[in-house]
Structure 1
Amino acid sequence: MLELKQQNCFFIFNYNHQLENQQQFFTPHFWQAENRIIGSAKGRGTTWFIETLDLFGINCALRHYYRGGFWKKLNKDRYQFNGLTKTRSFAEFYLLDELYRQNFPVPKPIGAKVEKCGFNYYRADILTEKIEDAQDLTAFLQHQKISSQGWQQIGNLISRLHQLQICHTDLNAHNILVQHGGTSAENYWLLDFDKCSKKNGNHWKHKNLQRLHRSFQKEICRLGIQFCSTDWFHLMLGYENYTASYSD
């Protein structure tokens, strides 16, 4: 990995050699000037999709960290600085890298930036792999159903994460990605590991699953997704089967 500091900005990159203009990789205007923007997605902010095959061998997604809830009205993107490794972008970068190196289906982290703002605050950005030919689970379920085997795959995936003692603090249907392959089979990925971390014990795992179930119930009403109790049964069956095999 390559770590750099430039004035009040700190960078980390998932490669060992310096690239031209790499400090500007976290600026959408830079990629726009290079005619490399290939799409975007709206969430709390805008995620920009960038053509970077020649640079990294994959295309990328660029995301700036924005606050949510009440505080966004007062402070849209500044966070209290308590050390570089505890910043939102660096912490997510390191966690993604750990999972990616274990062949867990998460986007490969490419780079992260922290910009100090005064003594106690910072802004942050992250650059990750763009998963090709994919859409979030809620978009998929508005038009198609998932097979029982597919739901069990998703359950397996969540159990695998839990066996690694990693709590996805925003585990919801939007952060599960469906990737369409060349056959009828799909692959499933987990996204958005901001504020996620390792936790001891097992007490939190059931609440994590309940959070996911509530998100499905919410999107039945809001988006009309195709989801029923049988689907959840198969998800939990996949979860429990993986948990049992891991314990053995």
Structure 2
Amino acid sequence: MKLFENKKLKVWFDEALLNASPENCFDPEYWQEQGKIVGNAKGRGTTWFIQLNDIQGALRHYRRGGLFGRLVSDHYFFSGWEQTRSYQEFQILNHLKQSGVNVPRPVAARAIKKHVCYQADLLTERVPDARDLVSVLQEKPLSDAMYQKIGKEIRKMHDAQVNHTDLNIHNILIDNQEKVWIIDFDKCFCMRKNNTLWKDNNLKRLHRSFAKELVKSNIHFNRLAWEKLVLAYKDK
């Protein structure tokens, strides 16, 4: 990991993946001028998809959700550079990648200090040819083998002691090689090994997500599918 910094700015980046100046790489207009923007997705904000060297990147600006987010959309209280959300997520992704978990590679993270607050951005690898579980399950049921893969991938993440505080079926992807990926590690963190309750809470949150989308999105899902996932998770 390389670091670019000045008085009010820090950028952490992987120079093997980033083919632009760390000063410019979080500016969508810069990428537009280079003809490198290949698409976007709308959500809480806009995620820009950018052609890097041999991969595509996903660039997003950190924004708040909920009622408070309507008042303060993208500013966070500054308590140190290593406590910024962008740095934390960059480090979590690096840790998980080194632990053998299928997550996007982090390319660059930025934090800009503004008085007592900061703003943040993150550029990660875009998982190629992948769809989230909601869109997949709207079309057809998953095989037992796929549920087993999902359970094992979550177990790898937990063995790396990472607490995914928003584990839901929008944050689990399947690519066209039937490889399972886990994404969106904002506000996630590493836990001490003597604490295990959070693992059950992650799984309960995921199960609630399946149940919610069963009603909301009419996905193909049932109790036996969940049992397959949990059995694979528990199987060492």
TM over 0.5, shorter chain:
yes
Hey, what does 2:211 align to over in structure 1? 217
Aligned to 1:236: 230
How far apart in 1 are the matches of 2:18 and 2:170?
Answer: 35
Identify the residue that residue 4 of structure 1 maps to in structure 2. Answer: 4
Distance 1:238 1:19, change over 3 A: closer
| Cα distance in structure 1, aligned partners of 2:17 and 2:93 | 21
Once the two structures are TM-superposed, the CA of residue 197 in structure 1 deviates from its matched residue by: 0.6
What is aligned with 2:74?
A: 77
2:134 is aligned with what amino acid?
T
- 8 A Cα contact 2:11 2:22, kept in partner: no
Match of 1:187 among 179, 193, 208: 179
Task: State the aligned residue count.
Answer: 234
- What's 1:39 paired with? 39
Report the Cα offset of residue 140 of structure 1.
1.1
Unaligned runs of 5+ in 2: none
Aligned mates of 2:228, 2:139 — CA distance in 1: 20
2:133 aligned with 1:141, yes or no? no
Where in structure 1 do 4 or more consecutive aligned residues deviate above 6 Å?
A: none
Match of 1:95 in 2: 92
Percent of aligned positions with the same letter in both sequences? 41
Residue identity matched to 2:130: A
The one-letter code sitting in structure 1 at the alignment partner of 2:83 is K
Unpaired runs of 5+ residues, structure 1, are none
CA offsets 1:179-233 (integer angstroms, 9 cap, x no match): 112xxxx100000011111123111211111100001111111111111111101
- For the aligned residues, what is the CA RMSD? 1.6
Q: Which moved more, 1:72-81 or 1:218-227?
A: 218-227
1:158 to 154, 160, 174: 154
Aligned mates of 1:109, 1:202 — CA distance in 2: 27
Q: 1:17 to 1:144 in 2, by over 3 A?
A: closer
| Residue aligning to 1:105 | 102
Summarize the Cα distance change of 1:207–1:19 in structure 2 as closer, same or farther, 3 Å threshold.
closer
Q: Name 2:202's counterpart in structure 1.
A: 208
Work out the CA distance in 2 between the residues paired with 1:148 and 1:17: 36
2:190 counterpart of 1:198: yes
Q: Displacement, 1:13?
A: 0.7
Q: How far did 1:147 drift?
A: 0.4
